[in-house]
Amino acid sequence: MISVEILPAKDEHVDWIATHMRQADRDEVMAATGHTPHQALRLSLEKSDMAWTGFADGVATVMFGAGTLNALNRIGAPWLLGTDGVKTHYRVFLRSSLLWKSHLMSNYDELMNMVDDRNVVSKRWLSWLGFTLEEPVIAGVEQIPFRRFTLKARDDFRISIPLSQNEADKHV
């Protein structure tokens, strides 16, 4: 059985993941920002409110997190960059990603970012998680098609606190 650990992301995790990053993630990072895998991971880590590294059998396999895009509206930008270990351990990755999606949604009312339209595996995974993928738009430093993906907190999980007694009476 595989040993899995999810730990707070640290700068010392960057080198291994950057050196072994999946080609699709390398391509996406370069097309979006022009950054190397090392630069992308360091910048993502620096800009995140929360970030973790996933280990499979003691080997760093994936780094992921989210940063605030809009604090007033509680909109966060999730990100994930990984190695081919994600493919090797895909069952564990899929199960874990559902749990971490729930954790992120407890901190934000909406998650939003962009995915390289060529990144078929990531688009399939995002759809599986429940994200809505919009039509492609030309974006990034390479000016190629990217898709915005979004996930909004479900209304049935929100707690509404009335501001006044009159407002409370409307809900009774």
**Residue 12's pLDDT is what?**
95
CATH 3.40.630.30 fits 4-170, yes or no: yes
Query: Which conformational region is residue 9 in: left (phi greater than 0), alpha (psi within -120 to 50 degrees), or beta?
Result: beta
End-to-end CA distance of the chain: 52
The distance of Cα 163 from the centroid of its chain, to the nearest Å, equals 34
Domain boundaries, the chain: 4-170
CB 118 within 8 A of CB 23: no
The pLDDT tens digits for 68-124 are 999 999 999 999 999 998 887 777 777 777 778 888 888 999 999 999 999 999 999
**Residue 76's pLDDT is what?**
95
For the whole model, what pTM was predicted?
0.84
The per-residue pLDDT of the chain, averaged, comes to 87
Is 164 a residue whose pLDDT tops 80? Answer: no
Distances (CA, A) of 49 to 44, 57, 58: 10, 27, 25
Q: What CA–CA distance (Å, rounded) separates 32 from 107?
A: 26
The pLDDT tens digits for 69-84 are 999 999 999 999 999 9
CB 133 within 8 A of CB 115: yes
The pLDDT tens digits for 28-64 are 999 999 999 999 999 999 999 999 999 998 999 999 9
Instruction: Find where tokens 């996406």 sit.
Output: 28
Read off the pLDDT band of 24 (50, 70, 90). very high
